[in-house]
């Protein structure tokens, strides 16, 4: 049975996700079936560009329809919780862009709802599904790096003036926008929650995030036998212990991406989602509910330290 995707919002990240999906050589038995946006003109233009058959002028209408099986949520951060909740409560699986929610309480609420309704839910940390992440994990598990003791990840870009970073009402902060990539990388490598500023056994993660300048934007894993380095956001190269470089090419598209061409890697999330749903899973072992809960807890802790408080932090969620 074909898995039918509904795209929520006709914005930039949704454009790149659909473009990556539609241009991939073999996505299996799944299609982009519908798009919804509050502005019908934008939704119609989006559908025309990407050859999508069904258009909705409200998220409610798409959530209640029988035209889709799963929703991709590309909305702004403050809308993630309520839109994801809407689709889950209407019997739809959900892949929601990072950050899954503004805080840990909201994430826990969505995890509860997905389990109660027996529906798949995943946070769209696209890096997790790249071939390079898989290759790095294989090397670590094989003991090639020895005992992993240190992780360093840097992500910086001059984007401080962008509304989604600077406006509090939009869930603004570099922590949730790009900091999530550094936090999740340490989590991906150590497979554990840190104890204060260090992990168990003296393991350390040094994470740098800056929204005012361009940083190195790479991640390094250091073990007792050596180190490996890769680009941080969506990696396509991996530098091995002996200095050799492993490269993974991405598929091309006739339609330009809003981001650079690495956005083609967004399709790997869709491949993972389909595989999990076919198996009857409610979460991905590569980006589990626990991973999202720990990530949200870390984001909350960092925000608290730097004094970023959202109104929803004072609310309770079912």
Rounded to the nearest integer, the mean pLDDT of the chain is 94
CB contact set of 45 (below 8 Å; sequence gap of 6+): 10
- Please give the Cα distance from 179 to 105 (Å, whole number): 19
Does some domain include residue 116? yes
Residue ending a domain, among 94, 120, 146, is: 120
Nearest to 96 by CA among 113, 79, 116, 109: 79
- Please give the Cα distance from 16 to 265 (Å, whole number): 10
Does some domain include residue 264? no
Q: What is the pLDDT of residue 276?
A: 98
With a pLDDT cut of 70, the percent of the chain lying above it is 99
Q: Based on the domain organization, do 69 and 200 belong to the same domain?
A: no
- Please give the Cα distance from 226 to 242 (Å, whole number): 9
Q: Based on the domain organization, do 156 and 227 belong to the same domain?
A: yes
For residue 275, count other CB atoms closer than 10 A to its CB.
13
Q: Based on the domain organization, do 69 and 138 belong to the same domain?
A: no
Does some domain include residue 218? yes
With a pLDDT cut of 90, the percent of the chain lying above it is 81
Task: Provide the domain count of the chain.
Answer: 2
Does some domain include residue 303? yes
Q: State yes or no: pLDDT of 225 exceeds 80.
A: yes
Q: Based on the domain organization, do 113 and 133 belong to the same domain?
A: no
Give per-residue pLDDT as tens, 67-98: 999 999 999 999 999 999 999 999 999 999 99
Based on C-alpha coordinates, what's the Rg of the chain? Answer: 19
Does some domain include residue 259? no
Task: Tell me the two tokens of residue 153.
Answer: 């990840």
Q: Based on the domain organization, do 211 and 102 belong to the same domain?
A: no
Q: What is the pLDDT of residue 197?
A: 59
Does some domain include residue 174? yes
Give per-residue pLDDT as tens, 155-212: 998 988 887 877 877 777 788 888 899 999 999 999 988 877 567 888 889 999 999 9
Q: For the chain, what is the largest distance between any 2 Cα atoms, rounded to a whole number of angstroms?
A: 57
Q: What is the pLDDT of residue 73?
A: 98
Q: What is the pLDDT of residue 298?
A: 93
Angle at 176 between CA 175 and CA 182, to 5 degrees: 60
Q: Based on the domain organization, do 163 and 217 belong to the same domain?
A: yes
For residue 51, the domain's CATH number is 3.40.50.720
Q: What is the pLDDT of residue 235?
A: 76
Are residues 189 and 221 in contact, defined by beta-carbon separation less than 8 angstroms? yes
Domain that holds residue 51: 3-120
Are residues 240 and 170 in contact, defined by beta-carbon separation less than 8 angstroms? no
Q: Based on the domain organization, do 82 and 154 belong to the same domain?
A: no
Does some domain include residue 258? no
The arithmetic mean of pLDDT across residues 137-155, rounded, is 94
Residue ending a domain, among 78, 102, 120, is: 120
Q: Based on the domain organization, do 178 and 208 belong to the same domain?
A: yes
Are residues 83 and 8 in contact, defined by beta-carbon separation less than 8 angstroms? yes
Are residues 73 and 84 in contact, defined by beta-carbon separation less than 8 angstroms? yes
Does some domain include residue 279? no
Q: Based on the domain organization, do 103 and 19 belong to the same domain?
A: yes
* DSSP-assigned letter for residue 194: -
Q: What is the pLDDT of residue 231?
A: 87
The residue among 131 and 174 whose pLDDT is bigger is 131
Q: Based on the domain organization, do 298 and 169 belong to the same domain?
A: yes
Q: Based on the domain organization, do 185 and 296 belong to the same domain?
A: yes
Q: Based on the domain organization, do 103 and 158 belong to the same domain?
A: no
Are residues 241 and 144 in contact, defined by beta-carbon separation less than 8 angstroms? yes
Q: What is the pLDDT of residue 141?
A: 95
For residue 169, the domain's CATH number is 3.30.360.10
């Amino acid at each position: 049975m074909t898995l039918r995707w509904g795209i929520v919002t006709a914005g930039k990240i949704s454009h790149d996700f659909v473009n990556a999906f539609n241009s991939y050589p073999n996505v299996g038995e799944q299609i982009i079936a519908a798009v919804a946006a509050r502005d019908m003109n934008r939704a119609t233009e989006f559908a025309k560009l990407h050859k999508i058959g069904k258009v909705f002028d409200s998220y409610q209408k798409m959530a209640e329809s029988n035209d889709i099986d799963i929703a991709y949520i590309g909305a702004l951060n403050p809308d993630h919780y309520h839109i994801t909740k809407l689709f889950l409560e209407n019997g739809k699986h959900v892949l929601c862009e990072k950050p899954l929610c503004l805080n840990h309480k909201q994430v826990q609420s969505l995890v509860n709802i997905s389990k109660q309704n027996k529906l798949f839910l995943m946070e769209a940390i696209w890096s997790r599904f790249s071939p390079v992440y898989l290759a790095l994990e294989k090397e670590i598990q094989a003991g090639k790096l020895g005992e992993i003791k240190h992780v360093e990840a840097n992500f910086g870009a001059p984007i401080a003036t962008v509304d989604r970073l600077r406006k509090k009402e939009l869930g603004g902060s570099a922590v949730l926008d790009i900091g999530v990539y550094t936090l999740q990388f340490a989590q991906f490598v150590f497979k554990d929650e840190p104890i204060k500023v260090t992990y168990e056994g003296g393991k350390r993660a040094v994470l740098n995030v800056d929204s005012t300048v361009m940083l190195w934007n790479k991640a390094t894993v250091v073990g007792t036998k050596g180190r490996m380095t890769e680009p941080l956001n969506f990696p396509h190269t991996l530098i091995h212990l002996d200095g050799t470089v492993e490269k993974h090419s991405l598929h091309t598209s006739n339609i330009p991406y809003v981001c650079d061409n690495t956005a083609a890697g967004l399709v790997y999330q869709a491949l993972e989602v389909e595989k999990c749903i076919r198996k009857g899973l409610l979460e991905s072992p590569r980006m589990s509910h626990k991973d999202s809960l720990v990530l949200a807890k870390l984001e909350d802790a960092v925000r608290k330290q730097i004094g970023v408080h959202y109104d929803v932090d004072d609310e309770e969620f079912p």
